[in-house]
Each structure stands twice: as structure tokens, then as C-alpha cells.
């Protein structure tokens, strides 16, 4: 009887601290939201001022770039790209302008146009970071040009960090085309060069989960939260694998942990409601 009471006590205390953690995070999120709203309002005023200044001084590259950055911060990509087009017309050989245009295109969701802009930038000045950015887009779109692009970076012999990026991106390509073993091999190579490369672990875990190898996936996500114990997505996927293994109580516990770390994780909230009802 005493043990039962103690178990109930510890269970209640556990739930209490999870709820308190969620409430504290929610309060922090509210403060962050207010701060974001104030920042956006300030940027909006800045945009209007910059527009006036650009009208007065249309040849000022610095003012127009500031306007692009401000519009980008507000998510007004199309308006920002109009300004970029104006800049590029005046200086079509400027690597930085093409790179910025590619970044805007990518964030706006126009992957093909982003690749095109990055490609022009690469012809002007093929930096390793630019090539990796292009390679990642090639990999995500199942484009075999990823191999030549990543080979260019590998040939630069920039050390283990860049090699881990190369391995990861190649792994992404194989994962997207459905080549399970080659993807796993590349992610393992990435981790060998960088033990803390969480994205590589997560992608490995996704592959095992999709292959219905839930125990293997669970072990990988456990490694993720061991490396970073405040990583909400890691706990969420521990919940998914536990649920797939029909470990309902464990799944709920992991989903609650992920939600305590990120109250905006709607998938975790939905999973908890589904399992408790």
C-alpha cells in the first residue's frame, strides 16, 4: 500500500513539474512573441524610411541593400527581389548580389530559381559554403549534379568539418532517391567526422523508422537526446518510435518531454491527446 502511495506521489510530482515547465516556456514564448511583434513594427517603419531614401538616392547601393535586408526580415521576398533585380542590372558580376538573390529565392520556396542564382554566383566565385548550399538543394531535389558539386568541395581538402557536410549532403541525396544502405553509409561517414552532427542522426533515424525498424530508430533518437538533452524533436521521435513499438506510456512521456521543451510542437500535443483519449 505504501509503495503504491509513493508511486502515485512521484507520478503526480512528475506531472506537476512537466506542467510547470510547459507554463514557464509558454510565458517565455509570449514574451518572445511580443518582442518579435515590436521588432517587426520597427522594421516596417524602417522599410518606409528606406523606401523614401532609395527614391531620393536611387544610385545608392548601400541604401538599396539595406532595404532588401529589411524586406527580407518581414518575409516580403517578392518586393526584396525587385530591389535585387535593380542592383544586379547595375552590377551583374557581383558574387554577393547573386548569392543574396539565391537565398531570397530559396526562402520564398522557388528552389529552381534559387539554384539558378547560386549557379551564376558559383561561376563568379565558387566558395565552399556556396557549393554546399547548392549541393543541398540538388540533393533535396534528387538532382545528380550534387555529386560534381560536392566533389568540388571535397577536392578543396578543408578538413573534417567540411568533409562531414559533404557526406551528409550525399546521404540526403541517397535518402531522397530511396537508396537506404548508401544513405546510411554516408550518414555514418558524416558522424565519424563529426560525432555531434545531429542532423545526420535524425536522418538515419527517419530511414529506420520508415523501414519499420523501430527499435533501431529508437536507439538512434536516444543518442540524439544524449548528445543534446534539450532537443525537442529528438524526444518527439522517441515518442513516435515508442508508440510504434506499442509502448504507450513511454510514448506519452516522451511526447510530454518534447512539448515541455517546445510548446509549439503541435504534433506532440496531438499525439498526447490521441493516446490519452
DSSP character string of 184-222: HHHHHHHHHH-TT-HHHHHHHHHHHHHTT-HHHHHHHHH
Q: What is the pLDDT of residue 27?
A: 58
Residue 186, all three cell numbers = 554516408
Looking at the domain assignment, is residue 150 inside a domain? yes
In a domain, 26, yes or no: no
Do residues 163 and 113 both lie within one domain? no
The pLDDT value given to residue 16: 52
In terms of domains, do 58 and 130 share one? no
Query: 79-88, 123-132, 191-200, 207-216 — which is least confidently predicted?
Result: 79-88
Mean pLDDT of 143-150: 97
Residue 194 clears pLDDT 80, i.e. is over it: yes
Claim to verify: residue 105 and residue 145 sit in the same structural domain: no
Judge whether residue 12 has pLDDT over 60.
Answer: no
At which of 125, 143, 177 does a domain end? 125
Q: Are 197 and 191 in contact (CB under 8 A)?
A: yes
pLDDT at 8 over 60: no
Q: Could you tell me the pLDDT band of residue 6, with boundaries at 50, 70 and 90?
A: very low
141 and 114 fall within a common domain: no
30 occurs within a structural domain: no
In a domain, 208, yes or no: no
Percentage of the chain with pLDDT > 70? 84
Ranked by mean pLDDT, the top range of 21-35, 61-75, 153-167 is 153-167
Domain co-membership, 97 together with 139: no
pLDDT score of 58 more than 90: no
In a domain, 185, yes or no: yes
Query: Is residue 157 domain-resident?
Result: yes
Residue 139's pLDDT is 98
Instruction: State which residues form the domain around 161.
Output: 126-195
Q: Is the pLDDT score of 43 beyond 70?
A: no
Split into its structural domains, the chain has a count of 3
Instruction: Answer whether residue 31 is part of any domain.
Output: no
Q: Is the pLDDT of residue 167 over 80?
A: yes
Short-list 236, 170, 223, CA closest to 197 = 223
Both 157 and 223 in a single domain? Answer: no
Residue 213 lies in a domain: no
Checking if the pLDDT of 53 tops 90, the result is no
Q: What is the mean pLDDT of residues 174-192?
A: 98
Of 101, 125, 149, the residue at which a domain comes to its end is 125
CATH number at residue 274: 1.25.40.10
What confidence tens digit (pLDDT) does each residue in 94-110 have?
999 999 999 999 999 99
- Burial pattern 103-141, b for ≥16 Cβ within 10 A else e, equals bbbbebebeebbbebbebbbebeeeeebbbbbbbbbbee
Residues 138, 71 share a domain: no
Per-residue pLDDT at 29 exceeds 80: no
Question: Which domain-ending residue is among 163, 195, 227?
Answer: 195
Least confident of 66-75, 77-86, 256-265: 66-75
Give the pLDDT confidence score for residue 132 in this predicted structure. 97
Amino acid at each position: 500500500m505504501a509503495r503504491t502511495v509513493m508511486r502515485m506521489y512521484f507520478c503526480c510530482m512528475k506531472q506537476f513539474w512537466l506542467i510547470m515547465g510547459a507554463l514557464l516556456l509558454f510565458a517565455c514564448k509570449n514574451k518572445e512573441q511580443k518582442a518579435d511583434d515590436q521588432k517587426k513594427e520597427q522594421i516596417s517603419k524602417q522599410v518606409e524610411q528606406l523606401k523614401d531614401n532609395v527614391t531620393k538616392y536611387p544610385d545608392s547601393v548601400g541604401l538599396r541593400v539595406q532595404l532588401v535586408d529589411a524586406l527580407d526580415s518581414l518575409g516580403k521576398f517578392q518586393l526584396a527581389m525587385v530591389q535585387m533585380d535593380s542592383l544586379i542590372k547595375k552590377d551583374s558580376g557581383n558574387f554577393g548580389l547573386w548569392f543574396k538573390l539565391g537565398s531570397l529565392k530559396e526562402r520564398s520556396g522557388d528552389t529552381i530559381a534559387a539554384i539558378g542564382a547560386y549557379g551564376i554566383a558559383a561561376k563568379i566565385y565558387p566558395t565552399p559554403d556556396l557549393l554546399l548550399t547548392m549541393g543541398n538543394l540538388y540533393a533535396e531535389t534528387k538532382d545528380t549534379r550534387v555529386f560534381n558539386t560536392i566533389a568540388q568541395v571535397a577536392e578543396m581538402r578543408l578538413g573534417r568539418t567540411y568533409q562531414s557536410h559533404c557526406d551528409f549532403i550525399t546521404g540526403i541525396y541517397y535518402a531522397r532517391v530511396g537508396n537506404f544502405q548508401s544513405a546510411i553509409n554516408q550518414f555514418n561517414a558524416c558522424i565519424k567526422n563529426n560525432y555531434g552532427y545531429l542532423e545526420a542522426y535524425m536522418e538515419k533515424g527517419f530511414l529506420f523508422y520508415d523501414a519499420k525498424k523501430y527499435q533501431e530508430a529508437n536507439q538512434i533518437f536516444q543518442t540524439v537526446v544524449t548528445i543534446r538533452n534539450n532537443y525537442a524533436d529528438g524526444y518527439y521521435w522517441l515518442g513516435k518510435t515508442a508508440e510504434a513499438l506499442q509502448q504507450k506510456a513511454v510514448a506519452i512521456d516522451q511526447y510530454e518531454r518534447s512539448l515541455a521543451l517546445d510548446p509549439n510542437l503541435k504534433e506532440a500535443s496531438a499525439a498526447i491527446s490521441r493516446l490519452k483519449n
